[in-house]
Chain A
Amino acid sequence: MATINGIEQGISCYSYTEQFIKNDDWTIDTVFAHVAAQGVTKVELVGAQTFQQYPVPREDEIQAVLEASHKHGVEVFSYGGYVDLGRVTGHAMSREDILSDIRLDIMTARRLGATFLRATGFGPDLAEAVNAIGEEYGIQIGFEIHAPHTPADPEVAEFMRVIDDKGLKNFGLVPDFGMFIERPTEIAVNRYIGLGAERKNLDWIIANRHNGMSEEEMQAHVASTMNGGYGEKVAISEWFGYLSFAPAELDSFAAMVPYVTYVHGKFYHLERDENGRVYEPTIPYERALSILADGGFQGVFISEYEGHAFYLDDADEQIGRHLTLGRSILESL
């Protein structure tokens, strides 16, 4: 995939979650074949999904990735790790426990030939120690800033301060564009209706999402006064959690750009307008991508489709649209 103004497009294998899980015959080889068909060579691979043993994959699982990589001309650019903080029931992970898990992910990244690790699960107080492990193995760590967090969060500012103060060379941030979602997708709304929610209840929840009610208060209110059921329950839970929405924090995004190692171009569903132009109806893509490019970002912009959250089976079409959208924005800058 061509580099446009210093930005190269890539794909997260996570975009194929729906097909990978539903189809027993899909392997990482299948995923890489689909990526290669999009003309993309760089992928992010999410360990906890791809591998059937995690955090330390079996050797045959690593070999399968390397063989598919070679066969399709696809490079594991970044390895997506997790710190599974709740793995041991009733046990709170210590600082050493967390660093141990990070080290395992970094070791896997090395086995895969990746140069980046996308990390989560710790605070700015561990950034220096994580950076040191990254230096030891020659891996760049990008801490993911994901919804419901935004670039304006004090924790993001603290990460940036630590990177500056300690002069961290192997540590930066990975913004996930899902944090700029300003309204739920129509597909999400329809999904909750499919789970039994009433449209008028969902409209009320959307209108009142930021009225000061806690999630618990809203769950109780909708259940008791609006006859809300299962669909409303799931909607409230997800809209207060990983599908949270709010006016996009774009002003504070500009300050974050110098710390960006690479980008998760999260998107939910791309539509076409009457002129055939592709657009993301819930995320201000033109503005966010422009801020990134204007801020001097040079690196990889990963398309990450989250259609499986809405039971959609259209990853190839959607990823193709996203690559087209990104290319057209970047070429216009």
Chain B
Amino acid sequence: MPTKFMKLGFDAHVLRSLRNEATGYVLEVGLNYYRGTPISAVERLELSVDGERIDDDRLLVEINGKYLRLYEVPLAHTEYWGVKTPIHLHVLGAPLAAGPHDVDVVCEARVVYMQFAPGVYGMFDASARATLTVSES
């Protein structure tokens, strides 16, 4: 009897900051879950800014000092995403204009210890949306 769709109450803690950097901009993302998870459990990760989906090829996921392309995330079983250790989503390309931006992250992941049948796991939804402000540089 799986919990296929677990949504916890730490949404407001997920989208933490948005700022420009030399290669584009970076979003700090916390985890909406009661424990940490190997990041390989993340099965779906999508970012939209101001209603526009960011192309996967422009994204780099930074965790524990390593930089992963999106397809590498399910392979990164040694990288642990702790509940108090945010990851960073780097978006390569043009920086954002100073001011508020609507940010929408879709993040769905396996509950890695909750297996109900071979290959069938519970899932949790760590998605979040918020308006974050990029300051004048």
Contact = CB atoms under 8 A, between A and B. Distances in A.
A244 B1 contact: yes
A8 B74 CA distance: 43
Contact of A241 (B3, B34, B110, B115): B3
A244 B7 CA distance: 15
Question: Interface majority SS on B: helix, strand, loop or mixed?
Answer: loop
Contact of A21 (B34, B75, B111, B113): B34
Nearest to A82: B113
Interface string B2-13: 111111111001
A256 B29 CA distance: 44
Interface in A224-261: 233-234, 237-238, 240-244
A92 B113 contact: no
Given A89-B75, A215-B4, A21 B83 contact: yes
A148 B122 CA distance: 13
A241 B40 contact: no
Interface in B13-60: 13, 34-38, 40-41
B113 A241 contact: no
Interface string A185-209: 0000000000100000000000000
B77 interface: yes
B80 A52 contact: yes
A49 B113 contact: no
A215 B1 contact: yes
A162 interface: no
Given A86-B110, A88-B77, A241-B1, 17 more contacts: A20-B84, A21-B34, A49-B36, A51-B82, A52-B80, A52-B84, A54-B82, A82-B35, A84-B112, A86-B111, A87-B112, A88-B40, A89-B74, A148-B1, A215-B1, A240-B1, A310-B9
Interface of A: 14, 17-18, 20-22, 24, 46, 48-49, 51-54, 82-90, 92, 120-121, 148, 195, 215, 233-234, 237-238, 240-244, 308-311
